[in-house]
Structures are given as C-alpha cells and as structure tokens.
Amino acid sequence: MRYLRIVVPLFLGLGLWQGAIWILQMPSFILPSPLRVAGALWHARVILAENALITMSEVVIGLLLGAALGWITAVGLAFSVAARNAVRPLLVFSQAVPVFALAPIFTLWFGYGMGSKIAMALLIIYFPVTSSFFDALMRVPAPWLAQAHVMGARRWQVMFTLRIPAALPGFLSGLKLAAVYAPIGAIIGEWVGASKGLGYLMLLANGRGKADLMFAALIVLAVLTLLLHRGVDRGADWFLARRTRSVGPDA
C-alpha cells in the first residue's frame, strides 16, 4: 500500500500530462511528452548530475547556515526584550521585500559564483526557522518557568536547560519547512546570474528551444527537493524519538 500511494498518483499525473498533449494538440517545443522528457533525462544525465550537484551544494550550505543563524537569532530574541524591539521589525522588513528584487543585489555583492546563491537560500529559510524557534521558546509552559525561578535558576540556566530543550520541536518544524524553501532561493539566484546549476541549465535549455531538457531539469529539481525534505523530516523524527527515549516521555 505504501508503494501504491506513490505509483498511482505518478501514473495518474503522467496520464493527464499525455492526455493534455493529445487533446490540446500541444507542440513539443511548448509541452514535450513524458517520453521525450524521459529521453532527455537519460541522454543528458551527466550534465543534469553535474548541475544538480552544484545546486544542491548551494541549497545544503544555505540551509545549514540559515538554520544556525536562525537558532542564534531566536535565542537572542527570547533572551532580551531590547533585542526583540530592535531586531523583529528588521525580520519582518526582510520578508516584505520580494526575493526576486534582492537577487540582483546579492549577485552584485557576492558575484556570479555560489556565494550569491547561498545567500539567497539563507535569506529564504532564515525567517521560518527563526520565527518557528522563537515562538516555541516563548511558549514554554509557565509552571515550568515558575518552578525554575523558585529553584533559583539564573536566566541563562533557564534558557539552556529548560527553554531550548522544550522548544526543539518548534525549531525542527521550522527546519522541515526551510528544506522545501531553500531550493527556491538557489534557483532564483541562478536565474539572475550563474554559469552552473539547474536554474542556469533551465534558462539555457529554454533559450535554445529544448523544452524537454528544461522539463528534465525541473523534474530533477523537484525530486531532489522531495528527497531533501524527506531526509530532514526523518532526521528530525529520529532525533525527537531518541531524545524522548533518553529523557522520558514527559520531558
């Protein structure tokens, strides 16, 4: 049944895809058939693999840096009222500016290499990680905090021994969401200016009228994004399960 939940939607989607081509009589340079895209996947497998490695490197590095920066920011905001008043408006403003508008600026600052794409991925995932972790830090049950204060715990002890462990599920939830968003930043950066990567390959294929290669690159990107999200999701579940076994179900 687990495999059927994957295979049936896959074949249904392929059937609708091919049916749309037959009914609407779409030319191959606009909407290639699944067989043409499968052929492009096979014949361009080396090029796709090389560019996919570049894109996923940008995504993973941006994800790690964004998660670390989001962790530090959320702890700082939860620890200091002054930091919340000063930094939170900047966080909201960073999300109010369209990402596409920032991509040329990052390319100007960091060049056409991996730096600008990593910065784009970091920017996109930074806010969800920070927001989820900060909300979890601020929602620690009040009786726990009161008991810690009665026992004479200092602020930093309360933060690192009580609030952060209790808020870890919130941080991991933000990380799962960031795993889906991170490739968006890298692809936008590659569209603005790059010489490698799946986004660059899609633009190159589009400019040369190779719609089948463009769809093949898109499918590779979608599969890699799903695998990344699945890996982060399984890793988070494993970590929480191990933590529950080590500290007890009521911790």
The series of mean pLDDT values per 10 residues for the chain, 251 residues long, is 71 82 81 87 92 92 91 87 79 75 83 85 87 86 73 74 84 88 87 86 88 91 91 86 64 48
Where would I find the H helices in the chain? 4-24, 34-43, 45-79, 81-96, 99-110, 114-138, 142-150, 155-158, 164-192, 198-207, 211-247
Per-residue pLDDT at 127: 84
The three-point CA angle 60-49-116 to 5° equals 40
Per-residue pLDDT at 110: 85
CB atoms within 10 A of CB 46: 8
Per-residue pLDDT at 213: 92
Structure tokens given for 203: 């633009």
The model carries a pTM of 0.82
Q: At what angle do helices 164-192 and 114-138 cross, to 10 degrees?
A: 150
Find how far residue 58's CA is from the centre of its chain. 11
How far, in Å, CA of 220 to CA of 202, rounded?
11
Structure tokens given for 83: 């930091």
How far, in Å, CA of 224 to CA of 205, rounded?
19
Q: Which residues, including other chains, have CB under 8 Å from residue 188's CB and lie 6 or more apart?
A: 99, 100, 103, 120, 199
Query: 61-195 maps to which CATH number?
Result: 1.10.3720.10
* 9: DSSP letter: H
Query: In this structure, are residues 17 and 34 in contact, taking their beta carbons and an 8 Å threshold?
Result: yes
How far, in Å, CA of 232 to CA of 224, rounded?
12
How far, in Å, CA of 75 to CA of 30, rounded?
49
How far, in Å, CA of 133 to CA of 139, rounded?
10
Per-residue pLDDT at 78: 84
| Extents of the domains making up the chain | 61-195
Indicate the residue type of 98: P
CA distances from 167 to 130, 177, 198, 236 (A): 12, 16, 36, 13
Query: In this structure, are residues 190 and 67 in contact, taking their beta carbons and an 8 Å threshold?
Result: no
